[in-house]
Structure 1
Amino acid sequence: MNYIVPFLSLFFVFIIQLSSATANGFCLQTYIVHVDLPDSQMLSDQLETWYSLFLPTTLASETDQTPRIVYSYRNVFPGFAAKLTPDEAKAMEKKAGFISAKPDDMPLHTTHTTIEFKGTITGDRKSPTVADFSARGPNYESQGILKPDVVGPGVNILAAWPNLVANNNTRSNYFEMISGTSVSCPHLSGVAALTKSAHPDWSAAAIKSAIMTSADVMDRENHPIMDEEHLPADVFAVGAGHVNPARASDPGLNYDIAPDDYIPYLCGLNYTSREVSRILLRRAHCSAVPIIHEGQLNYPSFAIRLGSPNQTFTRTVTNVGVAVSSYNVEVVAPHGISVVVTFETLNFTRLNEKSTYEVSFRGSEYVGDTFDSRQGYILWKSAKHSVRIPIAAFHL
């Protein structure tokens, strides 16, 4: 069974997978339309109106009154998804502000027949694998933060559907077989909810850390997770690994981040005080905080630029496992890079006790002008828990 990455990041992005349809003899296909906004401060209701102005009046639109815009993008890019004929998509090119209209070529796997239960097939030894349309890293906007975070189920998922789906037996249902982030995100949201129910006092960052550090990197045959080409999937395809709901509730150690810890991080990305204040919904002053390198955020992963000077970052872990416990470090360094951790062992005597360590990366020289990526990990292991964080080293 294939899987797709859900982007669990500082900013969540949801991409809707949409289908083709036929209405009144006209072939309607879903197009992703990219437009230029006349005003970046447009409100949501204004966006809907602006997007609707791009829809041309044709024989198909006059004959079929079905709403054409099926999704409006607000965060990924300015634009919308709409069911159009090829002629309608072509006609939009004359509209002021139009940038592009491309068919949604990500297949939507749907069923229009009676769902008949014939048993569950289990035991696929190659499961999980990463789907070809699963989004890959690196994180161009914040290159010191590894993306994706994790992978989860997202291909051929039986999911609820807002519109009735008729089948050949004249029956209708509200379910479809769907692939994409739209059905992958609920899996991860459910894992987060389960973890939160087990630990009501944990922050969102602590829950994300638990999901990432407990993720699986091997398939059912105990081989590295593969991609769509049947090759080992790299860190920019799987992130920390495939989500493991059972282990996420008992990760052993957590890499927590307090809300105020994001302020020096955001200011370090050259956001203005006004922009940071909008994110926080309260006043923030970048001049009043010590700006940090993005790699210094207490994130459960590392992303290192090849060719950069020697770098040292700190990480703080919180003991959420066994009160009295010791964790020994195991380091697998990316090729050509020296990774040095200040402590070989972390000792704890009580729950919620914190311990801070430093990680130094040296020897990351790179000569060339092509993309290159290498990977490794740091593993803290106790008698009961294994806490793994990935390392990505790359050159764009």
Structure 2
Amino acid sequence: MVFRQRAAQLRVAPPHPKGVSSSSIPPPPFSLGTAATETSGATTDADAAVPPLTAMDDSDIRCDNVNCPDITAPGVSILAAYTEVASPTGLDNDKRQFPYSVLSGTSMSCPHVAGIVGLLKTQYPHWSPSAIKSAIMTTGKTRDNTRKSILDSSTVEATPFAYGSGHVNPNSAMDPGLVYDATTEDYLNFLCARGYNDTMIRLFSQKPYSCPDTFSIEDFNYPSIAVPNIQARKVTLTRTVTNIGSPGTYNVRVRQPFAVFVTVKPRVLEFKTTGEKKTFQVIITPHFAKLGTRAGYVFGDMIWSDGKHSVRSPIAVNLAS
């Protein structure tokens, strides 16, 4: 029996703030952040059933400077509690009532992630929401339980636009080594860079907030890296990681995206204390001479490792001119 995981490309955008019309505010920068996966039993990969879930191309599910979704969790054919007020089919002539049902979708995958967040917050009550999110994202798995690539709903190898940072891995999230932390001010600055003005920002902030004169959207301290429009330029991003484990030395390795050269400076981070922060730069340079007729998004990843922990960030670069 071979079990393969498939990422279901589902995304729901958060609603606009109360009292603000959709035409007066820029698109939201984040999705709900979770995709659903199917674990199906089959004798061969070709025989595995594909769930009838929404399929989207890359242009539909990208979130500009943030990869979407953030993470993938079990969400297909989940045995879940079910209201006995309605029947399983919802038809008028269906009078059946069951306390449980088999359900699918992000409504099933989100509770898995919420439960993991609760466990992490209980174990580490001082962790910020961003630290918890980073721990979950940077420890995600991109291989299924047969150690092969996760497939999407079309039975082809999935990309970060299908599974985000990977399939959630709770045990590794409990000990991520490093985290990409972010403050409320960091998020407000990100919204500023997205085009939100002071009035719009006030809807999200508990107090008045003025956007800074300059803020590079690429420097938002997110656990993933996305460059939606590199064109012919070289892009330099800044990230800061916080050591939440023991003192140690982390080395970086990069799986280069096609026709892109990624450099990390410095390549070694030495942490002497818990809670110590280190900042590094990621330099992304396109090589269009290698591109040929291929265009669009290409993918890679960056991993910081001390030999015990692997802190992985997916990289997505759009080479379309």
Question: Do both share a fold (TM > 0.5)?
Answer: yes
Q: Describe the SS at the equivalent of 1:279.
A: coil
Could you say which residue in structure 1 is the equivalent of 2:243?
A: 319
Deviations 1:292-341 (A, max 9, x none): 232210001111124151110110000012x2211111011111111111
Distance 1:123 1:330, change over 3 A: farther
Residue 143 of structure 1 corresponds to 64
The reply on whether 1:222 has 2:153 as its aligned counterpart is: no
Residues of 1 paired with 2:295 and 2:107: CA distance? 30
Write the distance in 1 (CA, Å) between the matches of 2:52 and 2:259: 30
Evaluate the alpha carbon distance shift between residue 2 and residue 253 of structure 1 in structure 2; reply closer, same or farther with a 3 A threshold: same
Aligned counterparts of 1:375 and 1:309: Cα–Cα separation in 2: 18
Aligned to 2:298: 374
Matched, 1:178 2:103: yes
Amino acid at match of 1:160: A
Match of residue 258, structure 1, among 183, 187, 212: 183
TM-aligned CA distance change 1:125 to 1:279, over 3 Å = farther
* 8 A contact 1:306–1:365 mirrored in 2: no
CA-to-aligned-CA distance 1:14-35 (integer Å, 9 cap, x gap): 9xxxxxxxxxxxxxxxxxxxxx
Q: Distance in 2 between matches of 1:220 and 1:364?
A: 35
Matched, 1:389 2:313: yes
Q: Which letter does structure 2 place at the counterpart of 1:393?
A: V
Secondary structure of the 1:357 match is: strand
**Equivalent-residue separation in structure 2 for 1:341 and 1:159 (angstroms):** 44
Residue 295 of structure 1 is matched in structure 2 by 218
The secondary structure found in structure 2 opposite 1:241 is coil
Distance 1:124 1:290, change over 3 A: farther
- Gap regions ≥5 residues in structure 1: 15-39, 44-74, 77-120
What is the deviation of 1:211? 0.5
Match of 1:201 among 114, 126, 131: 126
Q: Per the alignment, do residues 176 and 136 of structure 1 end up closer, same or farther by CA in structure 2, a change over 3 Å counting?
A: farther
CA distance in 1, matches of 2:223, 2:167: 15
Q: Deviations over 1:171-200 (max 9, x none)?
A: 732222111111111111111111111111
Q: Which has the larger radius of gyration?
A: 1
Percentage of matched positions with identical amino acids: 33
Question: 1:284 — aligned with what?
Answer: 209
Task: Report the counterpart of residue 341 of structure 1 in structure 2.
Answer: 264
1:324 touches 1:350 (CA, 8 Å); kept in 2? yes
SS at match of 2:172: helix
2:91: which partner in 1?
none
Normalization by structure 1: what TM-score?
0.65
- Conserved 8 A contact 2:138-2:313: yes
- How far apart, CA to CA, are the structure 2 residues paired with 1:309 and 1:214? 31
Distance 1:141 1:212, change over 3 A: closer
Residues in 2 aligned to 1:225 and 1:141: alpha-carbon distance in whole angstroms? 19
Number of equivalences: 289
Distance 1:159 1:354, change over 3 A: same
Q: 228, 231, 239: which one pairs with 2:164? A: 239
Question: Compared with structure 1, are the counterparts of its residues 292 and 225 closer, same or farther at alpha carbon in structure 2 (3 Å cutoff)?
Answer: same
Q: CA RMSD in A?
A: 3.4
Contact 1:312 1:361 in 2 (8 A): yes
Change (3 A) 1:283 1:6: farther
In the aligned structure 2, how far is the partner of 1:131 from the partner of 1:216? 24
TM-score using structure 2 length? 0.79
Runs of 4+ in 1 over 6 A off after TM superposition: 121-127, 366-371
- Superposition pairs for residues 354-365 of structure 1, below 5 Å? 354-363=277-286, 365=288
Contact 2:61 2:161 in 1 (8 A): no
3-state SS of 1:309 partner = coil
Amino acid at match of 1:154: G
Mapped to 1, the partners of 2:136 and 2:59 lie a distance apart of: 20
